[in-house]
């Protein structure tokens, strides 16, 4: 196990360097003055320009600039937002809210998606299966901002079940609707993955053995079938984390959730591109770390991964 | 020949003359040879979902190519602020946007934008995915190691986030091509991975060895033998990526880093309508429906194609 962890962490290092380099390259190796380019059609005050030039060491060769930028990241210095607040400080304030939203959303996703996938898989070809397929196709096709606005309109404005925007302090009750909206982005994938996995597991020998031993269906389904069907679903959560992050930017923007996503959303809307770049870098780093953790967790679940080369 | 049956035993096995072997092992010598594509077509043809999605896609393509057949109202020039957020009137079946433009006409004229982005991104993904996937799968070695690591790096950045950064920097140059490049440049590694895995499986097949023994060059083997036999999953994934690309463009436009507002785009219209959700929900919901139906039709096609090309998916149906 220790060997696997070391190998996997070592593999992550070039990817980490590569992604940060790529982001930096996209911003600072574009033709023209990158600082002016960052502001698009807006003309920033000269003081801001001067400060950014200094911060990004544009007088140095490109590769040196990148290493200074990388060094800053590892020292926890992510720059300053337009309002003068350090990005790290904003992260500390907003990240817990996003974490709660993501947690709630994942709970909805897992409970709803796995339940629907399990029933579909067990009653393959039945009415529930057919309707779950149709619903999941529709959910895949609806962009998350459409789901967000329709949810806000129907449940917030027309039915009045939820507040349309999240109040200060982001209480759990206000996060329910955004979390459901966020969960719809991956709902279909979870349902299908669970369904396929359940169908495959159900035809395994150990399920037949359990049935011929005389175990009741109530024991076979949760213990033998469901547990063994969950491994691919858990792995998918890693891939899904990327969808979740993009979804969080949109959902938090729509519902005004005071999290990392809304900060990015507002920075994009206002054209504060240096802030956008800083936050996207952080999000990509989080994404990499989460996927690394899931890989390690997966190795705990499935010994074959540990021993494979 | 000693008899194994007891005198009182009935026949458990039919005597040979009752089941002529020809009937069991018969080969239709004059029938058409079957292959993956013919089987897939036979399977797809029977499914209503295929015909529904094909009809919808055909409609979308016709609307995108000939918007003039569907509306005579100019989407941008005939706008009058007095019509702002107005309901349907004669000649304007879906009402008006906040700027007093005809919603129906804007939806019709926005079709080509979404479709172009979808197609350009898909070609880009297919091209990059096939080149990277084929080379690293077929040639292996250090080339595979280098190309796969490059793919890992691009794969590690969620492509919409990457496109947000690219489009923020290039906002002055934003158009259909730039946005497609921004999306496609980060969306290809999934295709490359799928193709690489498939090629690793196919390249050890007997027919590849036969071709090698006949002295066919490596490149020609890749092009004529390995690639055609491993392209099926790529076709599935690219059909679905067409839908994802359309969603990605709409999301970027919605966030305000997509196409310039002067370009007719469903994402732009939805973005512009978001603040009037309370008073004029139809201005947001109508373009959303157009967007979702288009995406749905490509997703459905992808489903059908996947079921047809992947025997495992077919068995689970």
The CATH number for B265's domain is 1.10.3720.10
- Stretch among A87-96, A228-237, B176-185 having the lowest mean pLDDT: A228-237
Query: Does the beta carbon of A152 lie under 8 angstroms from any beta carbon of chain B?
Result: yes
Q: Is the dihedral of CA A139, A141, A145, A146 positive or negative?
A: negative
Mean pLDDT on A63-77 = 78
With CA atoms as reference, the chain B residue closest to A39 would be: B169
Interface test with A, best of B168, B171, B236, B306 (most A CBs within 10 A): B168
Interface test with B, best of A37, A132, A143 (most B CBs within 10 A): A143
Question: What is the structure's pLDDT at A268?
Answer: 78
- Is the distance from CB of B297 to CB of B51 less than 8 angstroms? no
User: Which of B157, B270, B317 lies nearest to residue A19, judging by beta carbons?
Assistant: B157
Domains assigned to chain A = 2-74 (no CATH), 94-301 (1.10.3720.10)
The two three-digit tokens of residue A302, written as one number: 């499935």
Q: What is the DSSP letter of B34?
A: P
- Is the distance from CB of A251 to CB of A178 less than 8 angstroms? yes
With CA atoms as reference, the chain A residue closest to B171 would be: A40
Binary contact (B288, A146; C-beta < 8 A): yes
| A200 Cβ contact partners less than 8 Å away, ≥ 6 residues apart | A229, B316
Q: Is the dihedral of CA B162, B163, B164, B167 positive or negative?
A: positive
Neighbour tally for B208: CB within 10 Å: 18
User: Which of A14, A26, A245 lies nearest to residue B165, judging by beta carbons?
Assistant: A26
In chain A, DSSP finds a helix count (H) and a strand count (E) of 14, 0
With CA atoms as reference, the chain A residue closest to B254 would be: A145
Residues of chain A positioned with their CB less than 8 A from the CB of B254: 143, 145, 250
DSSP string for residues in A165-183? S--TT--HHHHHHHHHHHH
User: Which of A38, A249, A287 lies nearest to residue B156, judging by beta carbons?
Assistant: A287
- The nearest CA of chain B is from the CA of A40 a distance in Å of 6
Q: Is the ipTM of this complex over 0.90?
A: no
Query: Does the beta carbon of B145 lie under 8 angstroms from any beta carbon of chain A?
Result: no
Mean pLDDT on A154-174 = 75
Query: Does the beta carbon of A287 lie under 8 angstroms from any beta carbon of chain B?
Result: yes
Q: What is the DSSP letter of A39?
A: T
Q: How confident is the model at residue A308 (pLDDT cuts 50, 70, 90)?
A: low
Interface test with A, best of B118, B156, B178 (most A CBs within 10 A): B156
Residues 81-110 of A with CB under 8 A from B: none
Q: What is the pLDDT along chain B (317 residues), one digit of tens a residue?
A: 445 556 666 556 655 555 555 555 666 667 676 777 787 888 888 888 889 889 999 999 998 888 878 777 777 766 676 666 667 776 667 677 777 677 788 888 888 888 999 999 999 999 999 999 999 988 888 888 888 888 888 888 888 888 888 887 777 778 889 899 889 988 888 899 889 988 988 888 888 889 889 988 888 988 888 888 888 888 888 888 888 899 899 888 888 888 887 888 888 888 888 777 777 778 888 888 888 899 889 888 888 888 888 766 666 65
- The nearest CA of chain B is from the CA of A19 a distance in Å of 6
Question: What is the structure's pLDDT at A41?
Answer: 60
A107-142 per-position pLDDT tens digit: 888 888 888 888 888 888 788 888 888 888 888 888
- The nearest CA of chain B is from the CA of A217 a distance in Å of 21
Question: What is the structure's pLDDT at A306?
Answer: 65
- The nearest CA of chain B is from the CA of A216 a distance in Å of 25
Neighbour tally for B29: CB within 10 Å: 5
Query: Does the beta carbon of A300 lie under 8 angstroms from any beta carbon of chain B?
Result: no
- Is the distance from CB of A286 to CB of B171 less than 8 angstroms? no
Query: Does the beta carbon of A243 lie under 8 angstroms from any beta carbon of chain B?
Result: yes
B66 part of a folded domain: no
Question: What is the structure's pLDDT at B1?
Answer: 44
* Domain around B245: 111-316
Q: Is the dihedral of CA B68, A138, B166, A275 positive or negative?
A: positive
The two three-digit tokens of residue A72, written as one number: 């800053």
Residues of chain B positioned with their CB less than 8 A from the CB of A250: 251, 254-255
Distance CA B271, CA B263 (A): 13
The two three-digit tokens of residue B90, written as one number: 């004669």
Binary contact (A137, B303; C-beta < 8 A): yes
The two three-digit tokens of residue A6, written as one number: 């070391």
| A46 Cβ contact partners less than 8 Å away, ≥ 6 residues apart | none
B12 part of a folded domain: no
Q: Give the CA angle between residues A89, A241, A115 to the nearest 5°.
A: 130
Question: What is the structure's pLDDT at B204?
Answer: 85
B123 part of a folded domain: yes
- The nearest CA of chain B is from the CA of A38 a distance in Å of 5
Neighbour tally for A208: CB within 10 Å: 13
- The nearest CA of chain B is from the CA of A107 a distance in Å of 22
Binary contact (B251, A143; C-beta < 8 A): yes
- The nearest CA of chain B is from the CA of A294 a distance in Å of 14
Residues of chain B positioned with their CB less than 8 A from the CB of A195: 316
Instruction: Please state at what angle helix B141-155 crosses helix B103-139, rounded to 10 degrees.
Output: 150
Across A30-39, A172-181, B115-124, which has the greatest mean pLDDT?
Answer: B115-124
User: Which of A23, A153, A288 lies nearest to residue B165, judging by beta carbons?
Assistant: A23
The pTM is what? 0.82
| A15 Cβ contact partners less than 8 Å away, ≥ 6 residues apart | A288, B149, B152, B153, B156
Which one has a higher pLDDT value, A70 or B314? A70
Give the count of domains, chain B: 1
Q: How confident is the model at residue A309 (pLDDT cuts 50, 70, 90)?
A: very low
Binary contact (B166, A26; C-beta < 8 A): yes
B3 part of a folded domain: no
Residues of chain B positioned with their CB less than 8 A from the CB of A149: 270, 274, 277, 284-285, 288
Residues 5-64 of A with CB under 8 A from B: 14-15, 18-19, 22-23, 26-27, 30, 34, 37-38, 40-41
Residues 158-187 of B with CB under 8 A from A: 158, 160-162, 164-166, 168-172
Instruction: Please state at what angle helix B103-139 crosses helix B281-309, rounded to 10 degrees.
Output: 30
Q: What is the DSSP letter of B217?
A: -
Query: Does the beta carbon of B284 lie under 8 angstroms from any beta carbon of chain A?
Result: yes
Query: Does the beta carbon of A135 lie under 8 angstroms from any beta carbon of chain B?
Result: no
Residues of chain B positioned with their CB less than 8 A from the CB of A126: none
B39 part of a folded domain: no
Q: What is the mean pLDDT of chain A?
A: 79
Query: Does the beta carbon of A290 lie under 8 angstroms from any beta carbon of chain B?
Result: no
Binary contact (B165, A268; C-beta < 8 A): no
The two three-digit tokens of residue A246, written as one number: 């993009």
B67 part of a folded domain: no
Binary contact (A284, B295; C-beta < 8 A): no
- The nearest CA of chain A is from the CA of B65 a distance in Å of 23
**Closest to A125 (Cα-Cα) out of A217, A190, A199, A194:** A199
With CA atoms as reference, the chain A residue closest to B302 would be: A137
């Amino acid at each position: 196990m220790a060997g696997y962890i070391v190998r996997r962490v070592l593999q992550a290092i070039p990817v980490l360097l590569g992604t940060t380099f790529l982001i930096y390259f996209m911003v600072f190796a574009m033709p023209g003055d990158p600082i002016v380019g960052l502001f698009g059609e807006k003309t920033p005050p000269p003081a801001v320009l001067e400060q950014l030039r200094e911060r990004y060491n544009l007088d140095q060769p490109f590769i040196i600039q990148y290493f200074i930028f990388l060094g800053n990241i590892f020292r926890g210095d992510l720059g300053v937002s337009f309002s003068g607040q350090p990005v790290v400080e904003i992260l500390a304030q907003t990240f817990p809210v996003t974490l709660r939203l993501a947690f709630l959303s994942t709970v909805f996703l897992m409970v709803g998606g796995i339940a629907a996938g399990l029933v579909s898989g067990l009653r393959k070809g039945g009415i529930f299966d057919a309707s779950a397929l149709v619903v999941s196709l529709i959910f895949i096709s609806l962009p998350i901002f459409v789901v967000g606005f329709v949810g806000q309109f129907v449940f917030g404005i027309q039915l009045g079940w939820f507040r349309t925007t999240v109040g200060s302090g982001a209480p759990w009750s206000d996060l329910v609707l955004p979390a459901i909206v966020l969960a719809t982005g991956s709902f279909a994938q979870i349902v299908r993955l669970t369904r396929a996995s359940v169908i495959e597991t159900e035809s395994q020998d150990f399920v037949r053995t359990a049935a011929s031993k005389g175990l009741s269906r109530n024991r076979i389904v949760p213990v033998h079938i469901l547990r063994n069907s969950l491994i691919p679903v858990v792995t998918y959560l890693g891939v899904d984390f990327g969808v979740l992050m993009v979804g969080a930017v949109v959902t938090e923007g729509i519902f005004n959730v005071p999290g990392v996503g809304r900060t990015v959303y507002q920075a994009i809307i206002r054209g504060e591109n240096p802030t956008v770049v800083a936050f996207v870098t952080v999000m990509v780093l989080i994404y990499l770390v989460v996927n690394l953790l899931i890989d390690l967790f997966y190795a705990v679940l499935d010994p074959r991964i540990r021993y494979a080369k | 020949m000693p008899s194994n049956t007891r005198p009182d035993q009935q026949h458990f096995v039919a005597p040979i003359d009752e089941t002529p072997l020809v009937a069991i092992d018969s080969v239709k010598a004059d029938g058409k040879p079957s292959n993956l594509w013919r089987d897939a077509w036979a399977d797809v043809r029977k499914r209503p979902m295929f015909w529904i999605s094909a009809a919808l896609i055909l409609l979308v393509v016709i609307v995108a190519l000939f918007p003039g057949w569907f509306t005579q109202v100019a989407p941008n020039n005939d706008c009058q602020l007095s019509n702002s957020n107005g309901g349907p009137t004669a000649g304007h079946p879906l009402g008006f946007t906040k700027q007093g433009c005809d919603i129906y006409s804007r939806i019709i004229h926005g079709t080509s934008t979404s479709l172009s982005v979808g197609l350009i991104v898909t070609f880009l993904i297919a091209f990059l995915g096939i080149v990277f996937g084929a080379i690293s799968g077929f040639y292996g070695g250090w080339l595979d190691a280098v190309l796969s690591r490059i793919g890992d790096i691009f794969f590690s950045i969620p492509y919409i986030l990457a496109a947000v950064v690219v489009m923020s920097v290039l906002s002055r140059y934003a158009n259909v091509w730039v946005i497609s490049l921004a999306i496609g440049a980060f969306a290809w590694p999934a295709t490359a991975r799928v193709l690489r895995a498939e090629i690793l499986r196919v390249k050890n097949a007997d027919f590849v060895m036969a071709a090698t023994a006949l002295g066919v060059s490596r490149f020609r083997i890749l092009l004529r033998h390995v690639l055609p036999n491993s392209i099926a999953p790529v076709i599935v994934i690219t059909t679905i990526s067409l839908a994802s690309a359309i969603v990605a463009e709409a999301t970027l436009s919605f966030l305000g880093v997509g196409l310039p507002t002067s370009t007719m785009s469903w994402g732009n219209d939805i973005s512009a309508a978001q603040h009037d959700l309370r008073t004029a929900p139809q201005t947001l919901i109508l373009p959303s429906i157009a967007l979702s139906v288009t995406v749905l039709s490509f997703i459905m096609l992808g489903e059908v194609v996947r079921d047809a090309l992947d025997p495992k998916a077919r068995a689970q149906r």
